[in-house]
Structure 1
Amino acid sequence: MSLTTVSLTATLKKQYSYKLRAYNQVFWNLVFLQLLAVLFSLNGVGMMGSSSESIEVTIHYYSADFVVFFTMIWGLIIAIIITTKAYRNDDFTFVTNRLSHNLSNLLFLLTACLIGGLTAMLSANVIKVITYFFDGQLIVDSTSLTSALGEFILGTFTTSLYIFLCCALGYIVGTLVQIHKVFVVLVPVLFFGGLFLLGVSGNETIVTNFFGFIFKESSILLFMIKVMVTSGLLFASAFLLSNRMEVKQ
Structure 2
Amino acid sequence: MSLNKMDLSAAVKKQLNYKMKVYVGMISSLVIVQVIGIFFSVVSPLQGYSTMDYVEIEYMNYNTLNIITLTSLWALIHAIIMTTKNEWENAFPFVGNTLSNHLANMIFLVGASIVAGIVTILASFTVRVYLYYFTDELFFMSPGFVLNGGDLLAGTVTVILHFLLLCAIGYFLGTVTRLHRLLPVLLPIVVIGLLITINYINHDWMMNTVEFYYGETSMAVFLMKIVVTAGILFACSIAISSRTEVRK
TM-score band, normalised by the shorter chain?
0.7 to 0.9
1:233 maps to what in 2?
232
1:222 maps to what in 2?
221
Q: Deviations over 1:37-65 (max 9, x none)?
A: 11221146545553456754444332222
Alpha carbons 2:46, 2:60 under 8 Å: kept: yes
Compute the displacement of 1:203 (Å). Answer: 2.4
SS in 1 for 2:148: helix
Moved more, 110-119 or 51-60: 51-60
Matched AA of 2:195:
L
Matched AA of 1:126:
T
Q: Deviations over 1:48-89 (max 9, x none)?
A: 553456754444332222211211111111111011122212
Alpha carbons 1:44, 1:63 under 8 Å: kept: no
Alpha carbons 1:64, 1:121 under 8 Å: kept: no
2:37 maps to what in 1?
37
RMSD of aligned residue pairs (Cα, Å): 2.7
1: CA distance, partners of 2:50 / 2:142? 21
Q: How does 1:110-149 map to 2 (within 5 A)?
A: 110-137=110-137, 138-140=139-141, 148-149=148-149
Matched AA of 1:235:
F
Unaligned ranges ≥5, structure 2 = none
Compute the displacement of 1:22 (Å). Answer: 1.5
1:176 maps to what in 2?
176
Matched AA of 2:66:
F
CA gap 1:142/1:68 in 2 versus in 1, 3 angstroms: closer
Q: How does 1:43-192 map to 2 (within 5 A)?
A: 43=43, 46-47=46-47, 49-52=49-52, 55-94=55-94, 96-137=96-137, 138-140=139-141, 148-192=148-192
Q: How does 1:204-219 map to 2 (within 5 A)?
A: 204-219=203-218
Residues 1:203 and 2:197 are matched in the alignment:
no
SS in 1 for 2:96: coil
Alpha carbons 2:89, 2:246 under 8 Å: kept: no
Matched AA of 1:83:
T
2: CA distance, partners of 1:240 / 1:119? 33
Question: How many residue pairs were aligned?
Answer: 244
Alpha carbons 1:76, 1:167 under 8 Å: kept: yes
Alpha carbons 1:161, 1:227 under 8 Å: kept: yes
TM-score normalised by the chain length of structure 1: 0.86
Q: Deviations over 1:160-198 (max 9, x none)?
A: 111111111111111111121222233212221123234
CA gap 1:45/1:194 in 2 versus in 1, 3 angstroms: farther
Unaligned ranges ≥5, structure 1 = none
Residues 1:22 and 2:27 are matched in the alignment:
no
- Identical amino acids, percent of aligned pairs: 32
1: CA distance, partners of 2:128 / 2:229? 34
2: CA distance, partners of 1:53 / 1:139? 20
Compute the displacement of 1:216 (Å). Answer: 2.2
CA gap 1:126/1:202 in 2 versus in 1, 3 angstroms: same
